[in-house]
Amino acid sequence: MRDLSRRNLLKATAAVGAGAVVIPGVVAGSTPGIAADGSGSSIGARFPSAKLTGRIVRPSDPGYGKASLGWDELFVRYPLVIVFAQETQDVVNALTWARQNDVALRVRSGRHSLEGWSNVDNGIVIDVSELKSTHIDTASRTARVGAGLNQLEAVTALGKYDLAVTTGTEGSVGLSGATLGGGLGFLTRYLGMACDNLIGAEIVVASGADGAKAIEVDPWNHSDLLWALRGAGNGNFGIVTALTYKVAPLKSVAYLQATWEGLDDLYGVFDTWQRTAPFADHRLGSQLEIHKSQILLFGVLAEGSEAEARELLGPILSIGNPEVTVQTGGWGDTYAGFQIPTEDEPANWKFFSQFTSEPFPRRAISLIRAFMENAPSDDSNFFTQAFGTGAQTQEPFGGAAFPHRDALFYSEPGAGWGTRGEPDSGDAVTPIAQTWIAEFSQALRPYVNGAYVNVPNIGMAEWETAYWRSNFRRLRKIKAKYDPHNVFQYEQSIPPATL
Protein backbone atom coordinates (compact mmCIF):
# COMPACT_ATOMS: atom_id res chain seq x y z
CA MET A 1 0.00 0.00 0.00
CA ARG A 2 2.82 2.30 0.78
CA ASP A 3 6.46 2.14 1.48
CA LEU A 4 6.68 1.67 5.25
CA SER A 5 10.38 1.03 5.15
CA ARG A 6 11.27 4.69 5.58
CA ARG A 7 8.56 5.46 8.05
CA ASN A 8 10.62 5.32 11.19
CA LEU A 9 12.86 8.08 9.87
CA LEU A 10 10.42 10.90 10.20
CA LYS A 11 7.74 12.29 12.45
CA ALA A 12 4.78 14.04 10.91
CA THR A 13 2.82 16.79 12.57
CA ALA A 14 -0.92 17.07 12.52
CA ALA A 15 -2.34 20.28 11.17
CA VAL A 16 -5.82 20.25 12.59
CA GLY A 17 -8.03 23.18 11.89
CA ALA A 18 -5.76 25.11 9.55
CA GLY A 19 -7.43 28.43 8.89
CA ALA A 20 -8.96 28.91 5.49
CA VAL A 21 -9.55 32.12 3.61
CA VAL A 22 -13.17 32.48 2.64
CA ILE A 23 -13.87 34.37 -0.55
CA PRO A 24 -17.26 35.96 -0.02
CA GLY A 25 -20.01 34.63 -2.19
CA VAL A 26 -23.72 35.10 -2.32
CA VAL A 27 -25.45 32.45 -0.27
CA ALA A 28 -28.13 30.68 -2.22
CA GLY A 29 -31.68 30.72 -0.96
CA SER A 30 -32.41 28.04 1.58
CA THR A 31 -33.49 24.74 0.14
CA PRO A 32 -37.25 24.33 -0.04
CA GLY A 33 -38.84 22.06 2.51
CA ILE A 34 -39.35 19.09 0.26
CA ALA A 35 -39.59 15.50 1.44
CA ALA A 36 -36.61 14.75 3.64
CA ASP A 37 -36.74 11.01 3.16
CA GLY A 38 -34.50 10.90 0.12
CA SER A 39 -37.10 8.77 -1.58
CA GLY A 40 -37.13 10.81 -4.73
CA SER A 41 -40.79 11.61 -4.15
CA SER A 42 -40.14 15.25 -5.06
CA ILE A 43 -38.04 14.21 -8.00
CA GLY A 44 -39.39 16.97 -10.25
CA ALA A 45 -39.16 19.91 -7.80
CA ARG A 46 -37.11 22.89 -8.97
CA PHE A 47 -34.86 24.92 -6.68
CA PRO A 48 -34.02 28.65 -6.68
CA SER A 49 -30.95 29.51 -8.69
CA ALA A 50 -27.79 28.78 -6.64
CA LYS A 51 -24.49 30.60 -6.34
CA LEU A 52 -21.16 29.11 -5.30
CA THR A 53 -20.02 29.85 -1.76
CA GLY A 54 -17.00 28.84 0.31
CA ARG A 55 -13.35 29.21 -0.73
CA ILE A 56 -13.49 29.20 -4.49
CA VAL A 57 -10.48 28.58 -6.74
CA ARG A 58 -10.68 29.07 -10.51
CA PRO A 59 -8.09 28.47 -13.27
CA SER A 60 -7.06 32.15 -13.29
CA ASP A 61 -6.25 32.11 -9.56
CA PRO A 62 -2.54 31.83 -8.60
CA GLY A 63 -3.07 28.79 -6.36
CA TYR A 64 -5.02 26.83 -8.97
CA GLY A 65 -2.34 24.24 -9.83
CA LYS A 66 -1.71 23.36 -6.20
CA ALA A 67 -5.42 23.38 -5.42
CA SER A 68 -6.11 20.92 -8.21
CA LEU A 69 -3.23 18.43 -7.98
CA GLY A 70 -3.96 15.10 -6.31
CA TRP A 71 -1.58 12.83 -4.38
CA ASP A 72 -1.00 10.57 -7.38
CA GLU A 73 0.57 12.89 -9.95
CA LEU A 74 -0.02 10.36 -12.72
CA PHE A 75 -3.41 12.03 -13.09
CA VAL A 76 -3.50 15.73 -13.89
CA ARG A 77 -6.94 17.31 -14.35
CA TYR A 78 -8.08 20.84 -15.13
CA PRO A 79 -11.39 21.54 -13.35
CA LEU A 80 -13.48 24.59 -14.12
CA VAL A 81 -13.75 25.48 -10.45
CA ILE A 82 -12.82 24.04 -7.07
CA VAL A 83 -15.02 24.82 -4.08
CA PHE A 84 -13.38 24.32 -0.69
CA ALA A 85 -16.47 24.10 1.51
CA GLN A 86 -16.33 25.88 4.87
CA GLU A 87 -19.73 24.61 6.02
CA THR A 88 -22.40 22.20 4.86
CA GLN A 89 -24.39 24.91 3.10
CA ASP A 90 -21.43 25.52 0.75
CA VAL A 91 -21.72 21.89 -0.33
CA VAL A 92 -25.49 22.21 -0.80
CA ASN A 93 -24.93 25.32 -2.92
CA ALA A 94 -22.17 23.72 -4.99
CA LEU A 95 -24.18 20.62 -5.76
CA THR A 96 -27.25 22.70 -6.65
CA TRP A 97 -25.13 24.98 -8.84
CA ALA A 98 -23.54 22.01 -10.64
CA ARG A 99 -26.95 20.51 -11.37
CA GLN A 100 -28.53 23.78 -12.49
CA ASN A 101 -25.62 24.55 -14.80
CA ASP A 102 -25.18 20.98 -16.05
CA VAL A 103 -21.54 20.86 -14.94
CA ALA A 104 -19.77 17.54 -14.24
CA LEU A 105 -18.89 17.18 -10.56
CA ARG A 106 -16.53 15.23 -8.36
CA VAL A 107 -16.26 14.97 -4.58
CA ARG A 108 -12.88 15.26 -2.89
CA SER A 109 -11.45 14.98 0.59
CA GLY A 110 -7.86 13.73 1.06
CA ARG A 111 -7.02 13.65 -2.72
CA HIS A 112 -5.62 10.09 -2.62
CA SER A 113 -7.94 8.56 -5.23
CA LEU A 114 -5.67 6.08 -6.99
CA GLU A 115 -7.29 6.68 -10.38
CA GLY A 116 -7.69 10.44 -10.08
CA TRP A 117 -11.46 10.12 -9.75
CA SER A 118 -11.88 12.92 -7.25
CA ASN A 119 -11.10 15.49 -9.95
CA VAL A 120 -12.51 16.19 -13.41
CA ASP A 121 -11.61 18.23 -16.47
CA ASN A 122 -13.97 21.18 -17.06
CA GLY A 123 -16.12 20.29 -14.05
CA ILE A 124 -16.54 21.32 -10.43
CA VAL A 125 -14.59 19.72 -7.59
CA ILE A 126 -16.53 19.90 -4.33
CA ASP A 127 -13.76 19.63 -1.75
CA VAL A 128 -14.60 18.98 1.91
CA SER A 129 -11.01 18.96 3.20
CA GLU A 130 -11.46 22.21 5.18
CA LEU A 131 -14.35 20.79 7.23
CA LYS A 132 -12.16 19.95 10.24
CA SER A 133 -14.51 19.97 13.23
CA THR A 134 -13.88 17.35 15.94
CA HIS A 135 -16.25 16.49 18.79
CA ILE A 136 -15.19 13.59 20.96
CA ASP A 137 -17.60 12.35 23.61
CA THR A 138 -15.57 10.24 26.00
CA ALA A 139 -18.66 9.22 28.01
CA SER A 140 -20.57 7.71 25.10
CA ARG A 141 -17.35 6.75 23.25
CA THR A 142 -18.44 8.42 20.04
CA ALA A 143 -16.73 10.96 17.83
CA ARG A 144 -18.36 13.29 15.32
CA VAL A 145 -15.82 14.75 12.89
CA GLY A 146 -15.89 16.93 9.81
CA ALA A 147 -15.34 15.06 6.55
CA GLY A 148 -12.09 16.95 5.97
CA LEU A 149 -9.92 15.28 8.56
CA ASN A 150 -7.12 13.14 7.25
CA GLN A 151 -6.28 9.91 9.01
CA LEU A 152 -3.33 11.35 10.95
CA GLU A 153 -5.50 14.19 12.25
CA ALA A 154 -8.18 11.73 13.33
CA VAL A 155 -5.77 9.29 15.00
CA THR A 156 -4.00 12.15 16.77
CA ALA A 157 -7.23 13.76 18.02
CA LEU A 158 -8.57 10.46 19.38
CA GLY A 159 -5.16 9.43 20.73
CA LYS A 160 -5.22 12.39 23.12
CA TYR A 161 -8.09 10.62 24.92
CA ASP A 162 -6.60 7.10 24.57
CA LEU A 163 -9.30 6.33 22.04
CA ALA A 164 -9.04 4.87 18.55
CA VAL A 165 -10.89 3.85 15.45
CA THR A 166 -9.56 1.74 12.58
CA THR A 167 -7.85 3.73 9.83
CA GLY A 168 -5.43 2.93 7.04
CA THR A 169 -1.69 3.34 7.61
CA GLU A 170 -0.97 6.50 5.61
CA GLY A 171 -1.80 9.59 7.65
CA SER A 172 -2.38 11.93 4.70
CA VAL A 173 -5.18 9.77 3.27
CA GLY A 174 -8.62 11.30 3.83
CA LEU A 175 -10.59 9.74 6.67
CA SER A 176 -13.74 10.10 4.53
CA GLY A 177 -12.37 8.39 1.45
CA ALA A 178 -10.83 5.53 3.43
CA THR A 179 -13.89 4.91 5.64
CA LEU A 180 -16.49 5.15 2.87
CA GLY A 181 -14.70 2.45 0.84
CA GLY A 182 -14.06 0.15 3.83
CA GLY A 183 -10.86 1.25 5.58
CA LEU A 184 -8.35 -1.45 6.49
CA GLY A 185 -5.26 -1.09 8.65
CA PHE A 186 -3.38 -2.32 11.70
CA LEU A 187 -6.51 -2.20 13.89
CA THR A 188 -8.81 -4.09 11.50
CA ARG A 189 -8.55 -7.42 13.31
CA TYR A 190 -9.09 -5.67 16.68
CA LEU A 191 -11.87 -3.17 15.85
CA GLY A 192 -13.19 -4.19 12.43
CA MET A 193 -13.07 -2.15 9.25
CA ALA A 194 -13.20 1.64 9.60
CA CYS A 195 -16.66 1.54 8.00
CA ASP A 196 -17.86 -0.93 10.63
CA ASN A 197 -17.28 1.78 13.24
CA LEU A 198 -19.26 4.39 11.29
CA ILE A 199 -22.59 4.87 13.07
CA GLY A 200 -23.84 8.01 11.40
CA ALA A 201 -23.15 10.68 8.83
CA GLU A 202 -24.35 13.99 7.46
CA ILE A 203 -24.58 13.73 3.70
CA VAL A 204 -25.63 16.19 1.01
CA VAL A 205 -27.73 14.40 -1.58
CA ALA A 206 -29.34 15.49 -4.82
CA SER A 207 -32.91 16.66 -4.33
CA GLY A 208 -35.71 17.32 -6.77
CA ALA A 209 -34.98 18.13 -10.40
CA ASP A 210 -32.02 20.42 -9.82
CA GLY A 211 -31.28 20.90 -6.12
CA ALA A 212 -29.57 19.44 -3.08
CA LYS A 213 -30.21 18.96 0.62
CA ALA A 214 -28.34 17.71 3.69
CA ILE A 215 -29.71 14.67 5.52
CA GLU A 216 -28.60 12.78 8.63
CA VAL A 217 -28.19 9.03 8.39
CA ASP A 218 -27.86 6.61 11.31
CA PRO A 219 -29.07 3.09 12.12
CA TRP A 220 -32.67 4.36 12.50
CA ASN A 221 -32.87 7.08 9.85
CA HIS A 222 -31.99 6.27 6.25
CA SER A 223 -30.45 3.05 7.53
CA ASP A 224 -30.22 1.76 3.95
CA LEU A 225 -27.96 4.67 3.08
CA LEU A 226 -25.78 4.09 6.16
CA TRP A 227 -25.41 0.46 5.03
CA ALA A 228 -24.32 1.69 1.58
CA LEU A 229 -21.89 4.26 3.00
CA ARG A 230 -20.16 1.44 4.87
CA GLY A 231 -18.03 0.31 1.93
CA ALA A 232 -19.60 1.87 -1.17
CA GLY A 233 -19.95 5.52 -0.22
CA ASN A 234 -17.15 7.07 -2.25
CA GLY A 235 -18.72 9.54 -4.66
CA ASN A 236 -21.76 7.35 -5.31
CA PHE A 237 -24.68 8.63 -3.24
CA GLY A 238 -23.84 12.14 -2.13
CA ILE A 239 -21.23 14.27 -0.42
CA VAL A 240 -20.53 13.25 3.17
CA THR A 241 -19.86 16.34 5.28
CA ALA A 242 -19.57 14.78 8.76
CA LEU A 243 -18.99 11.30 10.11
CA THR A 244 -19.93 9.80 13.48
CA TYR A 245 -17.87 6.89 14.79
CA LYS A 246 -18.11 4.49 17.64
CA VAL A 247 -14.61 4.72 19.14
CA ALA A 248 -12.76 2.25 21.35
CA PRO A 249 -10.34 2.68 24.25
CA LEU A 250 -6.72 2.07 23.25
CA LYS A 251 -4.02 3.05 25.73
CA SER A 252 -0.89 1.62 24.14
CA VAL A 253 0.46 -0.60 21.41
CA ALA A 254 3.61 -2.63 20.78
CA TYR A 255 4.91 -1.83 17.28
CA LEU A 256 7.27 -4.41 15.80
CA GLN A 257 9.35 -4.10 12.64
CA ALA A 258 11.44 -6.90 11.15
CA THR A 259 13.71 -6.77 8.11
CA TRP A 260 15.15 -9.64 6.09
CA GLU A 261 17.83 -8.67 3.58
CA GLY A 262 17.40 -10.30 0.16
CA LEU A 263 14.46 -12.43 -0.93
CA ASP A 264 15.90 -15.87 -0.13
CA ASP A 265 13.65 -16.24 2.93
CA LEU A 266 10.54 -15.14 1.05
CA TYR A 267 8.84 -18.51 0.82
CA GLY A 268 9.37 -19.25 4.52
CA VAL A 269 8.36 -15.80 5.71
CA PHE A 270 5.31 -15.47 3.45
CA ASP A 271 4.02 -18.98 4.01
CA THR A 272 4.46 -18.80 7.78
CA TRP A 273 2.87 -15.34 7.90
CA GLN A 274 -0.23 -16.38 5.93
CA ARG A 275 -0.70 -19.50 8.08
CA THR A 276 -0.24 -17.78 11.46
CA ALA A 277 -0.86 -14.01 11.45
CA PRO A 278 -4.51 -14.19 10.23
CA PHE A 279 -5.30 -16.64 13.07
CA ALA A 280 -3.39 -14.92 15.85
CA ASP A 281 -4.81 -13.01 18.83
CA HIS A 282 -7.25 -10.42 17.42
CA ARG A 283 -5.26 -7.61 18.99
CA LEU A 284 -2.53 -8.28 16.40
CA GLY A 285 -2.55 -6.50 13.05
CA SER A 286 0.27 -7.21 10.63
CA GLN A 287 1.55 -6.33 7.20
CA LEU A 288 4.24 -7.71 4.94
CA GLU A 289 6.01 -5.48 2.44
CA ILE A 290 8.15 -7.23 -0.14
CA HIS A 291 10.61 -5.06 -2.00
CA LYS A 292 13.20 -5.80 -4.70
CA SER A 293 15.77 -7.03 -2.23
CA GLN A 294 14.17 -6.83 1.23
CA ILE A 295 11.27 -8.29 3.14
CA LEU A 296 9.64 -6.16 5.83
CA LEU A 297 7.17 -7.27 8.48
CA PHE A 298 5.18 -4.78 10.57
CA GLY A 299 3.03 -5.75 13.51
CA VAL A 300 0.87 -3.68 15.86
CA LEU A 301 -0.34 -5.38 19.02
CA ALA A 302 -3.11 -3.41 20.69
CA GLU A 303 -2.73 -3.20 24.49
CA GLY A 304 0.22 -5.58 24.27
CA SER A 305 3.81 -5.79 25.48
CA GLU A 306 7.03 -6.23 23.51
CA ALA A 307 7.33 -9.79 24.78
CA GLU A 308 3.82 -10.66 23.63
CA ALA A 309 4.40 -9.13 20.19
CA ARG A 310 7.62 -11.09 19.76
CA GLU A 311 5.89 -14.25 20.88
CA LEU A 312 2.85 -13.88 18.62
CA LEU A 313 5.05 -13.18 15.60
CA GLY A 314 7.65 -15.71 16.78
CA PRO A 315 7.01 -18.35 14.07
CA ILE A 316 7.74 -15.76 11.37
CA LEU A 317 10.69 -14.17 13.20
CA SER A 318 12.28 -17.62 13.54
CA ILE A 319 12.76 -17.78 9.75
CA GLY A 320 16.30 -16.74 8.74
CA ASN A 321 17.97 -13.93 10.59
CA PRO A 322 15.80 -10.78 10.57
CA GLU A 323 16.71 -7.52 12.27
CA VAL A 324 13.89 -6.83 14.73
CA THR A 325 12.93 -3.71 16.66
CA VAL A 326 9.94 -3.15 18.94
CA GLN A 327 8.65 0.03 20.52
CA THR A 328 5.72 0.48 22.85
CA GLY A 329 3.72 3.65 23.32
CA GLY A 330 0.44 5.42 22.66
CA TRP A 331 -1.25 4.66 19.34
CA GLY A 332 -1.36 8.35 18.35
CA ASP A 333 2.41 8.80 18.81
CA THR A 334 3.26 5.45 17.22
CA TYR A 335 1.09 6.19 14.18
CA ALA A 336 2.56 9.67 13.76
CA GLY A 337 6.05 8.21 14.10
CA PHE A 338 5.82 5.98 11.03
CA GLN A 339 4.51 8.61 8.61
CA ILE A 340 6.51 9.83 5.64
CA PRO A 341 5.98 13.38 4.35
CA THR A 342 4.27 13.30 0.97
CA GLU A 343 7.07 15.33 -0.63
CA ASP A 344 9.48 12.45 0.04
CA GLU A 345 7.33 9.95 -1.84
CA PRO A 346 7.46 9.21 -5.58
CA ALA A 347 5.11 11.29 -7.74
CA ASN A 348 3.38 8.52 -9.66
CA TRP A 349 1.75 5.36 -8.37
CA LYS A 350 -0.13 2.36 -9.70
CA PHE A 351 -1.63 -0.46 -7.60
CA PHE A 352 -3.82 -3.49 -8.16
CA SER A 353 -5.99 -4.68 -5.26
CA GLN A 354 -6.91 -8.26 -4.43
CA PHE A 355 -8.47 -10.26 -1.60
CA THR A 356 -7.57 -13.89 -0.96
CA SER A 357 -9.42 -16.52 1.05
CA GLU A 358 -6.98 -19.47 0.66
CA PRO A 359 -3.25 -19.46 1.39
CA PHE A 360 -1.05 -18.72 -1.63
CA PRO A 361 0.59 -21.94 -2.90
CA ARG A 362 4.37 -22.09 -3.47
CA ARG A 363 3.84 -21.19 -7.14
CA ALA A 364 2.15 -17.86 -6.24
CA ILE A 365 4.92 -16.93 -3.78
CA SER A 366 7.53 -17.74 -6.46
CA LEU A 367 5.68 -15.41 -8.83
CA ILE A 368 5.83 -12.62 -6.24
CA ARG A 369 9.58 -13.11 -5.95
CA ALA A 370 10.10 -13.14 -9.71
CA PHE A 371 8.05 -9.98 -10.24
CA MET A 372 9.61 -8.14 -7.30
CA GLU A 373 13.14 -8.91 -8.51
CA ASN A 374 12.16 -7.18 -11.76
CA ALA A 375 10.26 -4.30 -10.15
CA PRO A 376 10.31 -1.06 -12.16
CA SER A 377 11.66 1.01 -9.26
CA ASP A 378 13.03 0.74 -5.72
CA ASP A 379 9.77 2.17 -4.40
CA SER A 380 7.71 -0.69 -5.80
CA ASN A 381 6.47 -3.32 -3.37
CA PHE A 382 4.05 -6.16 -2.80
CA PHE A 383 1.92 -5.32 0.24
CA THR A 384 -0.25 -7.57 2.39
CA GLN A 385 -2.56 -7.01 5.37
CA ALA A 386 -3.74 -9.89 7.57
CA PHE A 387 -7.50 -10.44 7.93
CA GLY A 388 -8.51 -13.99 9.02
CA THR A 389 -10.33 -14.51 12.31
CA GLY A 390 -10.46 -10.88 13.50
CA ALA A 391 -13.27 -8.47 14.36
CA GLN A 392 -13.80 -7.68 10.67
CA THR A 393 -15.55 -11.04 10.26
CA GLN A 394 -18.56 -9.54 12.10
CA GLU A 395 -20.80 -7.03 10.37
CA PRO A 396 -21.82 -4.02 12.47
CA PHE A 397 -25.41 -3.49 13.67
CA GLY A 398 -27.39 -2.70 10.51
CA GLY A 399 -24.86 -4.39 8.24
CA ALA A 400 -22.35 -2.98 5.76
CA ALA A 401 -21.88 -3.01 2.00
CA PHE A 402 -18.22 -4.05 2.48
CA PRO A 403 -18.38 -7.81 1.76
CA HIS A 404 -14.90 -9.34 2.19
CA ARG A 405 -15.50 -10.79 5.66
CA ASP A 406 -13.99 -14.18 4.83
CA ALA A 407 -10.67 -12.88 3.46
CA LEU A 408 -7.49 -14.49 4.72
CA PHE A 409 -5.53 -11.42 3.69
CA TYR A 410 -5.59 -8.38 1.43
CA SER A 411 -2.70 -7.81 -0.97
CA GLU A 412 -1.56 -5.53 -3.76
CA PRO A 413 1.41 -5.09 -6.05
CA GLY A 414 2.27 -1.39 -6.21
CA ALA A 415 4.72 0.66 -8.25
CA GLY A 416 5.94 4.16 -7.38
CA TRP A 417 8.13 6.25 -9.65
CA GLY A 418 8.99 9.81 -10.74
CA THR A 419 9.86 12.89 -8.68
CA ARG A 420 7.28 15.16 -7.10
CA GLY A 421 7.21 18.69 -8.42
CA GLU A 422 9.04 17.62 -11.60
CA PRO A 423 6.32 17.05 -14.17
CA ASP A 424 7.14 14.33 -16.70
CA SER A 425 10.09 13.10 -14.58
CA GLY A 426 8.64 9.61 -14.55
CA ASP A 427 7.46 9.43 -18.15
CA ALA A 428 10.10 6.93 -19.26
CA VAL A 429 9.11 4.53 -16.49
CA THR A 430 5.33 4.93 -16.82
CA PRO A 431 4.72 2.28 -19.52
CA ILE A 432 7.14 -0.12 -17.82
CA ALA A 433 5.43 0.28 -14.44
CA GLN A 434 1.95 -0.05 -15.89
CA THR A 435 2.86 -3.19 -17.83
CA TRP A 436 4.53 -4.66 -14.74
CA ILE A 437 1.40 -4.12 -12.61
CA ALA A 438 -0.86 -5.53 -15.34
CA GLU A 439 1.26 -8.66 -15.79
CA PHE A 440 1.84 -9.12 -12.04
CA SER A 441 -1.86 -8.93 -11.19
CA GLN A 442 -2.79 -11.14 -14.13
CA ALA A 443 -0.30 -13.80 -12.99
CA LEU A 444 -1.87 -13.83 -9.49
CA ARG A 445 -5.47 -14.07 -10.74
CA PRO A 446 -5.81 -17.83 -10.09
CA TYR A 447 -5.08 -17.21 -6.39
CA VAL A 448 -7.32 -14.21 -5.60
CA ASN A 449 -11.07 -13.72 -5.44
CA GLY A 450 -12.02 -10.11 -4.86
CA ALA A 451 -10.89 -6.49 -5.15
CA TYR A 452 -10.95 -3.40 -2.93
CA VAL A 453 -12.91 -0.39 -4.15
CA ASN A 454 -10.54 1.99 -2.32
CA VAL A 455 -7.73 0.70 -4.55
CA PRO A 456 -9.74 0.51 -7.78
CA ASN A 457 -8.74 -1.81 -10.58
CA ILE A 458 -9.28 0.12 -13.77
CA GLY A 459 -10.30 -1.98 -16.73
CA MET A 460 -11.18 -4.96 -14.55
CA ALA A 461 -14.03 -7.08 -15.89
CA GLU A 462 -16.91 -7.43 -13.43
CA TRP A 463 -15.47 -4.90 -10.98
CA GLU A 464 -18.97 -4.54 -9.51
CA THR A 465 -18.98 -8.02 -8.00
CA ALA A 466 -15.24 -8.00 -7.32
CA TYR A 467 -15.78 -4.99 -5.01
CA TRP A 468 -19.21 -5.78 -3.54
CA ARG A 469 -20.22 -9.33 -4.49
CA SER A 470 -24.02 -9.75 -4.43
CA ASN A 471 -24.42 -6.50 -2.44
CA PHE A 472 -24.13 -4.73 -5.77
CA ARG A 473 -27.83 -5.39 -6.52
CA ARG A 474 -28.95 -3.69 -3.30
CA LEU A 475 -26.51 -0.83 -3.88
CA ARG A 476 -28.14 -0.14 -7.25
CA LYS A 477 -31.58 0.05 -5.60
CA ILE A 478 -30.30 2.43 -2.92
CA LYS A 479 -28.67 4.50 -5.65
CA ALA A 480 -32.01 4.72 -7.48
CA LYS A 481 -33.65 5.93 -4.26
CA TYR A 482 -31.14 8.62 -3.28
CA ASP A 483 -29.68 9.60 -6.65
CA PRO A 484 -32.30 8.73 -9.27
CA HIS A 485 -30.85 11.20 -11.79
CA ASN A 486 -27.38 9.61 -11.44
CA VAL A 487 -25.83 12.96 -10.55
CA PHE A 488 -22.90 11.24 -8.85
CA GLN A 489 -21.15 9.34 -11.58
CA TYR A 490 -17.61 8.51 -12.59
CA GLU A 491 -15.73 5.70 -14.33
CA GLN A 492 -16.75 2.94 -11.89
CA SER A 493 -19.72 4.54 -10.11
CA ILE A 494 -22.80 2.54 -9.18
CA PRO A 495 -25.60 2.99 -11.73
CA PRO A 496 -29.16 3.36 -10.37
CA ALA A 497 -31.35 0.28 -10.67
CA THR A 498 -33.82 0.52 -13.49
CA LEU A 499 -37.40 -0.09 -12.46
Ligand X SMILES: Cc1cc2nc3c(=O)[nH]c(=O)nc-3n(C[C@H](O)[C@H](O)[C@H](O)COP(=O)(O)OP(=O)(O)OC[C@H]3O[C@@H](n4cnc5c(N)ncnc54)[C@H](O)[C@@H]3O)c2cc1C
Query: Smaller CB distance to ligand X: residue 201 or 313?
Result: 201
300 binds ligand X (CB under 6 A): no
- Pick one of 38, 54, 185, 426: the residue that binds ligand X (CB under 6 A): 185
Q: By CB under 6 A, which span of 34-42, 94-102, 181-189, 215-223 interacts with ligand X?
A: 181-189
The least distance separating ligand X from the CB of residue 388, rounded to whole angstroms, comes to 17
387 binds ligand X (CB under 6 A): no
200 binds ligand X (CB under 6 A): no
Q: By CB under 6 A, which span of 92-100, 176-184, 429-437, 470-478 interacts with ligand X?
A: 176-184
Q: By CB under 6 A, which span of 110-118, 134-142, 315-323, 433-441 interacts with ligand X?
A: 110-118
347 binds ligand X (CB under 6 A): no
Q: Which of residues 204-243 bind ligand X (CB under 6 A)?
A: 233-235, 239-240
- Pick one of 68, 109, 257, 380: the residue that binds ligand X (CB under 6 A): 109
377 binds ligand X (CB under 6 A): no
The least distance separating ligand X from the CB of residue 314, rounded to whole angstroms, comes to 25
322 binds ligand X (CB under 6 A): no
The least distance separating ligand X from the CB of residue 375, rounded to whole angstroms, comes to 17
- Pick one of 88, 89, 100, 169: the residue that binds ligand X (CB under 6 A): 169
71 binds ligand X (CB under 6 A): yes
346 binds ligand X (CB under 6 A): no
- Pick one of 12, 50, 69, 178: the residue that binds ligand X (CB under 6 A): 178
Q: By CB under 6 A, which span of 40-48, 102-110, 291-299, 442-450 interacts with ligand X?
A: 102-110
Q: By CB under 6 A, which span of 111-119, 218-226, 419-427, 474-482 interacts with ligand X?
A: 111-119
Residue 484, class by beta-carbon neighbours within 10 Å (0-12 exposed, 13-18 middle, 19+ buried)? middle
52 binds ligand X (CB under 6 A): no
Decide if 243 contacts 151 (C-beta within 8 A).
no
111 binds ligand X (CB under 6 A): yes
191 binds ligand X (CB under 6 A): no
Query: Smaller CB distance to ligand X: residue 99 or 112?
Result: 112
Query: Smaller CB distance to ligand X: residue 226 or 263?
Result: 226
Query: Smaller CB distance to ligand X: residue 181 or 208?
Result: 181
42 binds ligand X (CB under 6 A): no
Give the closest residue to 257 by CA, choosing from 328, 355, 193: 328
Q: Are strands 253-261 and 294-302 parallel, antiparallel or unpaired?
A: antiparallel
Residues that bind ligand X (CB under 6 A): 1-2, 71, 106-114, 117-118, 128, 147, 168-170, 173-174, 176-178, 180-185, 233-235, 239-240, 454-455
